[in-house]
């Protein structure tokens, strides 16, 4: 099992939540994503439900973690924070 992919989320100049990787690339059945931010946020992944929200992790104040992904495809996901939404991608690789 490979280590989780850590994606830092920040707010740009207009307050839009922006990931430091787009798309996030993961190995099928092998990696999870851990999004980290200094502010409260949510993640919604189209067609995927294994997402857990947490706070006060050792590496970030707010975090959302996915499970592994079984299908080799591109997922559209939404970062919700600061009253705004951004829709980047996750690419699942073989």
Domain boundaries, the chain: 5-93
pLDDT band at 49 (very low <50, low <70, confident <90, very high): very high
pLDDT band at 27 (very low <50, low <70, confident <90, very high): very high
Among 16, 13, 14, 15, residue whose Cα is nearest residue 88: 16
Residues 6+ apart with CB under 8 A from 80: 17, 41, 42, 43, 44
- The CATH number fitting domain 5-93, selected from 2.30.30.100, 2.60.40.420, 2.60.120.650, 3.90.1150.10: 2.60.40.420
Among 33, 39, 32, 30, residue whose Cα is nearest residue 10: 39
Reported pTM: 0.93
DSSP letter assigned to residue 41: -
15: left (phi over 0), alpha (psi -120 to 50) or beta: left
């Amino acid at each position: 099992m490979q280590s989780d992919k850590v994606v830092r989320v920040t707010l740009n100049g207009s307050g839009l939540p922006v990931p430091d990787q787009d798309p996030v690339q993961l190995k099928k059945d092998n990696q999870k994503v851990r999004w980290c931010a200094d502010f409260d946020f949510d993640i919604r992944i189209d067609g995927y439900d294994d997402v857990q929200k947490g706070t006060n992790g050792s590496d970030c104040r707010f975090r959302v973690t996915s499970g592994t992904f079984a299908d080799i495809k591109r997922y559209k996901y939404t970062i919700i924070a600061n009253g705004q939404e951004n829709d980047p991608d996750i690419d699942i690789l073989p």
